[in-house]
Amino acid sequence: MRIVTWNCHQATTTSTAWDYFERLSPDVALLQEVRSTPEKLADQYECAQGVPRAPSGGPQKFITALLVRGELQESIELSSPHDWVRSELEYFAGNLVAHRIRLLSGTELNCICVYSPAWPVKRERLQGVDTAGVQLTQNRDVWVTDLLWAALSHIADELGEPWVIAGDLNSSETFDSWSGGPRGNREYLDRMASLGLVECLRESQGELTPTFRNPKGGAIKHQMDHLFVTPPLAERLEICRTGSHDEVFGARLSDHLPIIADFDPT
């Protein structure tokens, strides 16, 4: 069973990124920044999608997409005891596409495809709101990733089931080394671990593995993309790796590498 997450860098129907995607041949794909998909994929995958928010508050020109070889089942409602968190989860619903799925093999999974933008929730939206307990202690802003964590905390008793939470989180431990001190990136990963979630790339490789190429200078040092699973899936993880630097960066398919995780299907 292969699960892939990838920021496709606004791939269109004619992008050669889809040729590479077909070679990866995932059973489940959690994709971000998709402009459009080729018709041939419709014969192989069922798709759930959402339109993320732009900084202006309007819709982005790309989608967040969950593709499955099998059946999409019911959508998963992300919620919280906090009124303000529920409001923001609704506002950013297109950034967090959540569905139960059933693969051709019969395996059932709960999936959340995540696109957390590089900008936070606007402070004026949260003016006068007590965000303590959701907001990171090392960051002055609230991010879509924080809303996701709050929603997952609300259903912590369900995380003994097979869950996949993956995508472009725009969060990397390397950001904590910037001037001004830590910004909560390691703090966030620790929060996710406290829920029992396993970050597959770190688990498999034993170290931070970069997934992003800087547009200026071309440095490859940040792991902004993540693939988390719950223990029932983590126990079945065989290997997790990134896609090929040459095939992705060299051919300019995207500025993000896909994360590719293979699991024992039994």
**pLDDT tens across 22-63, in order?**
999 999 999 999 999 999 999 999 999 999 999 999 999 999
Strand blocks (E) in the chain: 2-11, 28-34, 46-50, 63-68, 70-75, 96-103, 108-115, 163-168, 198-199, 225-229, 237-242, 259-263
Q: What percent of the chain has pLDDT over 90?
A: 97
pLDDT for the residue 265: 84
Assign 219 a pLDDT band (cuts: 50, 70, 90): very high
Question: What domains are defined for the chain?
Answer: 2-263 (3.60.10.10)
In this predicted structure, the answer to whether residue 8 has a pLDDT above a threshold of 80 is yes
pLDDT for the residue 89: 98
